[in-house]
Amino acid sequence: MLEKYSSKNPANRVRLTARFAFSTPAHVVATFFGAGVLRPAPGTWGTLAGALVYALLAGAVPPAAWAAAAAVLFLLGVWASGRTAEDLGVADHGGIVVDEVAAIWLVCAFVPQEPLWWAAAFAAFRVFDILKIWPGSWLDRHVKGGFGVMVDDLAAAFYACAFLYMIQLAA
């Protein structure tokens, strides 16, 4: 489960730089404007960047539009992460964080539109993204390319949404 995050994973020895992150449009999208360069835990930084963009624009953009934006970013992310992974020579580098951004936008769109719920969305999504509960774990291991990079985060977003919905029902 956590071998993806281990320092023994060869993928974690390839360091992204700001120069690389901004060298092509695909890299800019895949690293979400360089958020994937931040260490440690680039996936957490990418999720935080996505959540902050959501929080800053939530008053101007309705939740349904965020869900649509997440879908568009997912499709754009398939292309960008596939190209960036190819350029890095690493199938699913941790610095590719567009998958976390699309997923957190989706989770935030489906919770009450309040900062406390967005923080809960952030925490729940990160837990489920790291744990990779089935089918996320299966998708992470077996689906390759840009689609493979993106799709396991949809499973984590689904679990986060379901978990937060149960909390809403209990409250």
Output the tens digit of pLDDT for each of the chain's 171 residues.
555 555 565 555 678 999 999 999 999 999 999 999 999 999 999 999 999 999 999 999 999 999 999 999 999 999 999 999 999 999 899 999 999 999 999 999 999 999 999 999 999 999 999 999 999 899 999 999 999 999 999 999 999 999 999 999 998
pLDDT at 14: 76
Nearby residues of 48 by Cβ (< 8 Å), 6 or more positions away: 35, 122
The structure's pTM equals 0.92
Q: Map out the domains of the chain as residue ranges.
A: 3-170
pLDDT at residue 3, as a whole number: 58
Could you say which DSSP state residue 171 is in? -
How far is it, in rounded angstroms, from Cα 117 to Cα 166?
13
157 three-state secondary structure: helix
Q: Identify the pLDDT of residue 2.
A: 53
The predicted pLDDT at position 104 comes to 98
Taking 3-state DSSP, the helix, strand and coil percentages for the chain, each rounded to the nearest 5, stand at: 75, 0, 25
Q: What is the pLDDT at residue 15? A: 85
Report yes or no: 64 and 109 within 8 Å, Cβ to Cβ: yes
